[in-house]
Amino acid sequence: MVSPIDITPPATSHGDSDSTCESGYASATSDNGGFAEIYFTRPHLKYLNKQLSQLEPQDILKWCLISLPGLFQTTAFGLTGLVTIDMLSKIAIDNKSLPPLIFLDTLHHFPETLALVDRVTAKYPQPLHVYKPAGCETAADFTAQHGERFWDVDDERYDWVAKVEPAERAYAELGVKAVLTGRRRSQGGKRGDLDVLEITEAGLIKVNPLANWTFAQVQAYVREHDVPYNELLDRGYKSIGDWHSTQPIREGEDERAGRWRGKDKTECGIHNKRSRYAQFLMEQERLREREELQGRGERVEVKA
């Protein structure tokens, strides 16, 4: 990563006796001195992860609230995300300091999930931002635009359209710099070696405050604190996503074994490195920009 904060001290003369003269170091209210955006170096990130991994989730969340500007919580209202919401409601100084929620409505959630969203927003004060696939308000809109069973036709493009693009749009429009997620190591798959603190290729900070907790610990917290949860959990589901790619799990299976059953897939794209389709779209955008610039050059030559 690039270097941490770069502070340029203001130029002052030694003979300046003005009582309002600054100390020579830039501060948050300083008129002089330039702040670069804050980044984590690799050694700093490693150090923070070592320290944070020894803390309880509530203490990790307290650290986030005082350390990370532009903090939001992305959630599909799974059990871990719900525990995070409840913890935040108990430790935040006031409602204004609560990280807003971002919910990606793929238009293919279970009815039970959508009913849970209403129960959660009625109980907790965190503001909720809902993002849907571009140009779609209903499942019928989605089918009309992308065709029947798009998730079976091209699952990578489906993930991009239904989840990744809406997430990136949310981050850009809301000014998101850091997000809280509900991922845990005990969920298995690619999450088995999960760190508490991560930085994406795009520079987004991801915090997994319950990374060290097991499903049993999460479930115990939910029961103890009367946290609302998805009714599907009482029917054998443990990880719940879209209705077309989620099934109950069998005894002894990983929590996410019911997601995309039968496919070599454990993540939807939001928590993966850029998918092949995302890379293709980026290349297409670069090509379009080049063609546009070339077209402008041709028109200038004609006018000349």
Q: Report, as residue numbers or ranges, the catalytic residues.
A: 268
Residues in CB range of 162: below 8 A, 6 or more apart = 104, 106, 107, 108, 133, 142, 151, 242
Which residues partner with 102 through β-bridges? Answer: 74, 129
What does the DSSP assignment read for 54-83? Answer: TS-HHHHHHHHHHH-TTEEEE----HHHHH
Q: What letter does residue 189 receive in the DSSP assignment?
A: G
**Do residues 19 and 45 touch, judged by C-beta distance below 8 A?**
no
* Half-sphere exposure of residue 191: CA atoms within 13 angstroms, side-chain side: 24
247 in the Ramachandran plot: left (φ > 0), alpha (ψ -120 to 50) or beta? beta
Nearest of 236, 229, 242, 218 to residue 115 by alpha carbon: 229
